[in-house]
Amino acid sequence: MASGIPVSTRKHQSTRLKRACTLLVAISFLLILGCIEPLPASNRARIQHEEPSVRIKAIVEAGRLRDDKAVPLIVDRLEDEDEGVRLYAIIALEKITGERFGYDYGDSMSERAGAVERWRNFVRRRVAQSNEPGKNVIPQPSGGAEGLPGSP
Q: What is the DSSP string of 27-48?
A: HHHHHHHTSS-SSPPPHHHHTT
Domain that holds residue 94: 43-130
Which position has the higher pLDDT, 29 or 142?
Answer: 29
Verify that 49 and 120 share a domain, yes or no. Answer: yes
Does 35 lie in the same domain as 53?
no
What CATH code is carried by the domain that includes residue 51? 1.25.10
Q: How far apart are CA 85 and CA 74, in angstroms?
A: 9
Of 9-23, 47-61, 90-104, give the lowest mean pLDDT range.
Answer: 9-23
Contact 71, 59 (CB under 8 A): no
Q: Is the entire prediction scored with pTM above 0.85?
A: no
Give the span between the Cα atoms of 140 and 95, in whole angstroms.
9
